[in-house]
Amino acid sequence: MVEGPGETGRALQAARRALADGDEVLAGTDRVLAETLADARSAAQRSVQRIDVVRAGVDAIGERGTADSAVETRHVAAAIAAGHREVIAAVTDAGTVSAAKAVVLQNLCERYRSLTPAGRQ
């Protein structure tokens, strides 16, 4: 129990310091969350752009019509295979980034929980 006015003042100062410290930790955690979500969104957009480039290439091949020679057929097949590899790479890269961001988000959830009164008990 707090006894005198001096002790009350010290207790209030300690409580204010604790709140300020908690606010700083929360603000830092919020920054990490915002950066993580922005990075994840950017990575997803890059993957979509990569796939769109492949789609445009395949569309262009389709617009040219059928290949007239065996050489053209091989070029078309090679272009489609390269596009297929690029799509696989884009999806794989997106999955890798997604998994890494999921770990960061899980850690942030734990940090947020620790900042709540229930988490501190």
Q: Is residue 9 part of a domain?
A: no
Q: Is residue 6 part of a domain?
A: no
- Structural domain count, the chain: 1
Range of the domain at 43: 37-120
Instruction: Kindly report whether the global pTM for this prediction surpasses the value 0.85.
Output: no
Taking Cα atoms as reference points, which of 110, 111, 107, 55 lies closest to residue 84?
55
Average pLDDT over residues 1-27: 81
Q: Which residues of 38-53 are buried (b: 16+ CB within 10 A; e: fewer)?
A: eebeebeeebeebbee
Pair of tokens at residue 118: 């229930």
Residue type, 76: V
Pair of tokens at residue 115: 């900042």
16-67 tens-digit pLDDT: 888 888 888 899 999 999 999 999 999 999 999 999 999 999 999 888 877 7
9: exposed, middle or buried (Cβ count in 10 Å: 0-12, 13-18, 19+): exposed
